[in-house]
Structure 1
Amino acid sequence: MVEAAEVYVYFNFRSPYCYLASKNMFRIFEQYHARMVWRPLGGWGGRSAPERAKKKMPIVRQDVRRHARRLGIPFNPPPITTDPTPAGAGSLLAESEGLLRPYIVEVMRKEWGEGKDIGDLEVLLEVGEEIGLPRGALSKAIESEANLQRLEDNWAEAQERGAFGVPTFIIGQDIFWGNDRIDFVCDHLRELGLRRL
């Protein structure tokens, strides 16, 4: 039996590049013997500092719009004040319930496809209802101090390992930064002989 590679995924729901990655990163785990090690971040973890982000925003929006057009997906940015921390904390419950993929896809669709504020608890609870997460459990997970601490710990771990942005994929010592590096992740796994037949 082939031993699956661990692919660490550092992800911030507020990043438009994570939105783009959410549309095709799952093929890594469908096409290769690989196991996702989910590392969500909150707040500004993995993102440019607020002053720099403000300067970059017009160019980033142009860039993401081009990518979205090529992928055939909508791009409607959320309010600038959107806080990704609740979504990151909620993703930990989704992961434990085996619903991480639909959670990621639906949260990103609401945020970047429909322009919703995912810092709003009701938006996340609506996603939970759509994918089968109980409102009470999701609300508790979002407010959990332990989950909020995990988001901070994930960013500290990411930086220790050499990551400086999101999305970042790490396999052993190899770091792949950006939504457009998913093909390189797949190439690396293929070179390791982990392609599924």
Structure 2
Amino acid sequence: MSGSGRAPRFYFSLRSPYSWLAYRELLERHPDVAGAVEWRPFFEPDGTSERLLAELGGSFPYTAMSRAKHLYVLQDVRRLTAARGIAFRWPVDRDPVWEVPHLAYLRALRGGLGPQFVAAAYRARWEQGRDICDRTVIAGIGAELGLDPAELAGASDDPELRRQGALLLKDICDDGVFGVPFFVQGFNRFWGLDRLPDFVAHLRARAGGDGALPPPAAPAVGLGARAVDDGHAGGCG
């Protein structure tokens, strides 16, 4: 697991509505924290990524989502967005392969546009209700950002990005991440949208003085389709 000397981490998923809401709150309310943490994508592996992860000695934490929990998430997210005055649209995922958007993020990061890609992908999924596992959607985001559309849409076919994705999945295992959003600082873990204020307070207390947070020494992410329970804590932790 992460030692106390490592930069704090924010594990996010483009799939998760709770990650989307945490992302918004980080940028709107705590921009210094957003700039001080490493951003780590969390995604459910397909067969290829699962094999690569197993070769690294990891195993992704799968849990099937019950119908009752699925219905609860639908209700809960509608309640949370209404309380925040946020308009959103539920996307429809058809045979999702989550490497398509999440490895595209790594490709965008390589081009210096990682944060812009996250913003565009979240906007496409949660504001426009689009399928971000559709390569044409990812290609459109590439064109919007000035990145090569074919390279972005085909990121999951890139062996090097696949390797980086497997390393990130191994970090998920090593950091004890079991759902999103998930925040890590040293040996301290905070799970769920409602734990974001506690994570922020923890980082500020560690910073001392005026609570100002330094940016990470490295770029804001490290290298490193099935029905599953994303471990959404949402407001219930």
Q: Same fold (TM over 0.5)?
A: yes
Determine helix, strand or coil for the equivalent of 1:6. Answer: coil
Identity %: 28
User: Could you tell me how far 1:79 is from its partner in structure 2?
Assistant: 1.2
What is the deviation of 1:9? 2.0
Q: Distance in 2 between matches of 1:179 and 1:147?
A: 29
**Which digits, 9 at most, give the CA deviation of each residue in 1:100-150, with x for residues without a partner?**
222112101111221111110111111122223221332343421332333
Provide the residue aligned with 1:189 in structure 2: 203
Which residues of structure 2 form unaligned runs of 5+? 47-59, 214-237
1:19 counterpart residue number? 20
Whether 1:180 aligns to 2:181 is: no
Kindly report which structure 2 residues correspond to 1:77-116, keeping only aligned pairs within 5 A, or say none.
77-81=90-94, 82-116=96-130
Taking structure 1 as reference, are residues 79 and 119 closer, same or farther at Cα in structure 2, changes over 3 Å only? Answer: same
For the aligned residues, what is the CA RMSD?
2.8
What stretches of structure 1 move > 4 A for 4+ residues in a row?
A: 44-48
**1:152 corresponds to which residue?**
166
Does residue 127 of structure 1 match 2:141? yes
With 99-108 and 67-76 compared, the bigger mean Cα shift is at: 67-76
Inter-partner Cα distance in structure 2 for 1:25 and 1:53: 29
2:183 partner letter: F
TM-score after normalising by structure 2: 0.70
Q: How does 1:63-82 map to 2 (within 5 A)?
A: 63-81=76-94, 82=96
Of stretches 187-196 and 135-144 in structure 1, the one that deviates more from structure 2 is 135-144
- Equivalence for 1:169: 183
Q: Which amino acid aligns with 1:42?
A: F
Tell me if structure 2 keeps the 8 A contact 1:47–1:166.
no
Where structure 1 has 5 or more consecutive residues not aligned to the other structure, the ranges are: none
- Structure number, greater radius of gyration: 2
Q: CA deviation at 1:5?
A: 7.1
The structure richer in strand per residue is 1
TM-score w.r.t. length of structure 1: 0.83
Q: Is residue 61 of structure 1 aligned with residue 74 of structure 2?
A: yes
SS in 2 for 1:88: helix
For 2:124 and 2:66, the matched residues in 1 are separated by: 22
| Count, aligned residues | 193
